[in-house]
Structures are given as C-alpha cells and as structure tokens.
Structure 1
Amino acid sequence: MLQPWQTGKIIRIADETDATRRFWIQLTETDNFDFKPGQFVTLDLPIHEQRNKRWRSYSIASWPDGTNVIELVIVLLEGGLGTQYLFHEVTVGSEVLLRGPQGVFVLPETIETDLYFVCTGTGIAPFRAMTHHILNLDIPHKEIFLIFGCRKFSDALYGAEMRELTEKVTSFRYIPTFSRESPGEHLYRTGYVHAVYEDLIREKQTTVPGGQYAANFFLCGWKNMIDEAKQRILSLGYEKKSIHLELYG
C-alpha cells in the first residue's frame, strides 16, 4: 500500500563531492519516520505539469534512529530537471512533498551468509544505511563487504566514514575501486567492481569444503553495472535468489 504524501522541510544541505550533495529532510507530520534500511522515498518536485513526470525517487542514506529526519545523497545530472531543481532552487528551509518509505530492497530477516554490497555512485546510499543499522543494533551477521566503484578519489562518497568503520569493526570491509586512478596502496583497488567480488569469492571458495561458498549479493547503481554483475555472479554458481537488485536511472 502506498503511503500518503507528506511535507518535508530541508534542515541542512552539505556538498559531499563537486557534483554530489547531501540533503537532510525533517518530516513535519510525524515524530518518528519509520523505515527499513534500503528503502527509498519519492519526491514530488514542481518541475512539470504532469504529476508522474515530477516524481523522483532516492534511496535513504541514513538509518532508522527514532527521529523524523532522513538523509538523501543526490548527484547533479546534466539535463536532469529534478536534480537541477534540487541543486539550484532548494535551500535550507525549503519544503518538499514526499511519499514513503517504499521498496523491498531490504536486509533478510536473519543474516546467515556473508553479505556483498556492490555499488557505484550514489548507489552506496542504501548500503550505508544497512551497514550502520546492522552494527548499531548488533544484529548477528558474518562478514560484510562493501565494494564501491567510482572514477576518482574525489568521488568516494562517505569515504572517510567508511574507512573509519572498517578500522573499528572487524566484520566490515570497505573496498573502494577507482576506474581512473593509478594502482597504489593496499586500501583501495583500481579498475571496476567486478574483479573485486570475483577475487573475494574465489578466495573464499578455496576455504569451504566442497567449494560452494554461501553468500548474498546486493547490487545498487546504474543498469550496465547491475546487468554485468548479475551475469558474473550467476556464472560463479549462485542462484538468482541470492542476488538482490536496486536499479538507478
């Protein structure tokens, strides 16, 4: 069932990268905006006469904390009416109409396998929410691999936060991989995300009797990355039910 539209107030805006901005929205009609990490909200922006052409959906980048404030991380798209409006018209104090939470891209009820969070760009948003939620509530889990693909070091959303988390929590591994940087220190990879999870899986499979290593894969980002990742993971012997998708664009 769709949630009713409600009003949100922009209470804070911060640049995360040159083309990416964080927006904190306070829901004025509730004291506790309850959602599951991985879900999204839909904004109704005044950019078109037809309602369905005004709607833009964004994953919630924050995690449930008992308050009525959520965070979105949004990239400025060239020619994108929605993001042009959000970046150039919206300021602290602006009100937006939104609906949610929506979506079924959420964690399983019990986490019985290693989790691979594979993403590009702002696709890191739901995984930031999921990781903090698991760790904050001390939910039983195995290993969590956050494999984040972007072009340049300056594109690494939440990079400092993720590095700090991986230093504190032994079960969490943050592996950024950069397609337009040169190889360097061991803390990051170069190239694309696919080689990273393939290497990890092959390494894990050598330690499991019979060679079948159980894992769940969550993919979030642009269609090309998701399509390729899905095929590669299937070719490694995993079933479709082990692959969960959230498509951007």
Structure 2
Amino acid sequence: MEPWRKGTVIRITQETPNTRRFWIQIPELDRFDFKPGQFVTLDLPIHEQKNKRWRSYSIASWPDGTNVFELVIVLLEGGLGTTYLFNHVTEGSELIVRGPQGVFTLPEPLEKDLFLVCTGTGIAPFRSMVNYLRLHDLPHRDIHLVFGTRTFEDLLYYEEMRALSAVMEGFYYYPTLSREQREGHHHGYVHQVYESICMERKDAFFFLCGWKQMIDEAKNRITALGIDRKSIHQELYG
C-alpha cells in the first residue's frame, strides 16, 4: 500500500458545465509513476471517520516522467467529496493523496481487439491508456472507445479523442449521445454501439468504466454475444 502524501493543486480548468480538471503535483517525489488505468485516493476533510473522508478517482493523464497527474471530476448533487473539491479547492490548495492503486490496467501483450466502454468521467482511465499506447508506439490490435453522455457539451476530451482517432492507427472513437441527436455522432446508449461493432468479434477484451447500472447491463449483453466473462474488466463508480 502506498503511503499518504501531500499534493498541491497546481491547475484547475472547467471542462464541461459540471466537470473540472485538476492537476496535482506531489512535491516530495521527483516523478509520480503509475500504470494507465490506476487511481488515487484523496483524504478530504469532510467527515470525522477516516473511511468516510476517502474518495477515489481514476488518473486521467498518463505517466510522463513528472510528479504531476490529472484528475477529471464531476460535481455530484449532494456529494460531500465533490462539493468540497468544487467549493473549497483552488490552485495552490493542498490535498492528502494515496496512490497509485488498482489493477484496472491493460493486459500485456495486447493480443486481442480492445473495447473501452464508458460513460461520464469513466473516460479518465481510457484516456490514459490510449495516449500511453500511442506515445510509446506499443503494438496493439483495434481499439474501440465507446463513450456515452447525455449531450454533446458533456463529451470530455472531445477534440483530443477526435484528433487521436485521425492519427493513431487502429483507434476508433464513438461519441454516443442519449438525449441529443447530432450529425456524425451515435444516438442512444453505448450498448447498441459496441454490439453492432462486436457481432463477429469473439476474440476481444472489454473494459467497462462508469456507473453500476451501465456496467451490469453491459456484462449481460457482452456475454450474450459469446465473449468469455474472463475477458471483461470493470471499474465501478459510485
């Protein structure tokens, strides 16, 4: 288990109307090393009991040899943790951080097609994975990122993902909107999108990241396609 360390918030930007990006530096380390897909835990001053102060977030950046990493966080109505982060944390604030943690990481080697299915801030670990693969020119089969949100303005890292799909061989991006129709985007839910791609692909890894309802439905649908349950990996939010 990694120790608790002090982190300094060095930058904050508003990504969507209810989502912010936080860049955190760990001054005591020369570099913050982690595997794409891992998360960190924050100890926030929101409760007397330790375990009720802890909030975990997937790292949205990729290992770059520095001691800085990025989180992307959505403001949850009534959520003590995100309310504190949005109302009290500014550039220069200190946070208590533990990590990296987690085993939601890419298989080695990547010998199968990869389906990355997410909603909301669930795109964070997949952004880390895809950028890492490209920057290190690692061999891979086809990668399909199916990202579902309600509206176009909720699409995190939209221009970045479009640019990646244009220059990264074998990377395909499927922005999917459930409450808005927009030319060039899928309409509906993520399930119909990956099902249409995967009908003839039984040899694939599925990585799922998002809320429990989406993940539960996805696991049922994916196994119904004939995919081995051992090829399904998940990171649950909430």
Instruction: Give the aligned residue type for 1:149.
Output: G
Q: How does 1:1-249 map to 2 (within 5 A)?
A: 2-182=1-181, 184-185=182-183, 187-202=184-199, 205=200, 213-249=202-238
| SS, match of residue 161 in structure 2 | helix
What do residues 203-243 of structure 1 show as CA deviations (whole Å, max 9, x unaligned)? Answer: xx1xxxxxx63110000000000000000000111111110
Structure 1 stretches (4+) deviating beyond 3 angstroms?
Answer: none
- 1:108-165 Cα deviation digits (max 9, x unpaired): 1100011000000000000000000111111110111100000000000000110111
Work out the CA distance in 2 between the residues paired with 1:21 and 1:73.
6
Distance (whole Å) between structure 2 residues aligned to residue 98 and residue 60 of structure 1? 12
Which amino acid is 1:155 matched to? Answer: D
Q: 3-state SS of the aligned residue for 1:84? A: helix
Aligned-residue offset at 1:167? 1.1
TM-score by length of 1: 0.94
| Alpha-carbon separation, structure 1, partners of 2:194 and 2:137 | 25
Cα RMSD for the two superposed structures: 0.8
Unaligned runs of 5+ residues in structure 2 are: none
Aligned partner of 1:209 in structure 2 is none
Structure 2 CA distance for aligned equivalents of residues 70 and 89 of structure 1: 20
- Secondary structure in 2 matching 1:135: helix
Question: Whole-Å Cα distance in 2 between the matches of residues 166 and 177 of structure 1?
Answer: 15
CA–CA distance in 1 between the matches of 2:111 and 2:135?
18
Question: Alignment length, in residue pairs?
Answer: 238
Kindly state the Cα deviation for residue 170 of structure 1 after the two structures are TM-superposed: 2.8
Give the Cα–Cα distance (whole angstroms) in 2 for the partners of residues 170 and 63 of structure 1.
19
